[in-house]
Amino acid sequence: MNNPAFNTSGGGEMSAQDAQTQAAVKSMQTLMESCPGKTVVSGVMGFALGGAFGLFMASMQYDTPLSTNPTAANITSLPLREQLRQGFKDMGARSFSSAKNFGKVGAIFAGTECCVEGFRAKNDLKNGVIAGCITGGVLAAPAGPQAAAVGCAGFAAFSLAIDAYMRRPADSD
């Protein structure tokens, strides 16, 4: 942390605010280096992203014409205020459901990948593939062994594709 951005006093002494900033950065680094910390942060961030995604997708459902929806007659017969209340309630429920699913996937994958990386003592593509397989298998296991195998293969392939893309060498333009 010998960066000029953290040392604005001009001399060799650090101000109280700089020390506080460095302490906050160090605590965040410590949190993100631990498997429980990564799991919790990934779960919370997945929950937030899933909530936003679910809200967006739920709002797109109301973009379709009401004549194509069989339950539209019940909704259109209600007063406007009741229609809005039911629409927002439905959007909230869908958003929350999506948030829970994204949070669960993020937490399981990040925790598993961190544990695999610690066990193997390597940081390579295999960690993501193994974690993807475990995550996909765990999430699909209630549907049976065949679904767990397909979930394992699907999550592993997706994880491999994303990790390979993220680890590719940078363009030197």
pLDDT digits over 50-96, tens only? 999 999 988 877 666 656 666 666 777 788 888 888 888 988 999 99
Task: Report which of 116, 118, 104 is spatially closest to residue 50, judged by C-alpha positions.
Answer: 104
pLDDT at residue 135, rounded to an integer: 96
Taking a C-beta distance cutoff of 8 angstroms, is the pair 49, 102 a contact?
yes
Q: What is the pLDDT of residues 102-142, one digit of tens each?
A: 999 999 999 999 999 999 999 899 999 999 999 999 999 99
Alpha-carbon gap, residue 101 to 104, rounded angstroms: 5
Per-residue pLDDT for 10 more than 80?
no
Candidate from 33-37, 125-129, 152-156, 159-163 with smallest mean pLDDT: 33-37
pLDDT at residue 138, rounded to an integer: 95
Which amino acid is present at 161?
A
pLDDT at residue 170, rounded to an integer: 81
pLDDT at residue 171, rounded to an integer: 76
Structure tokens at 32: 């993100």
Domain boundaries, the chain: 36-108, 122-167
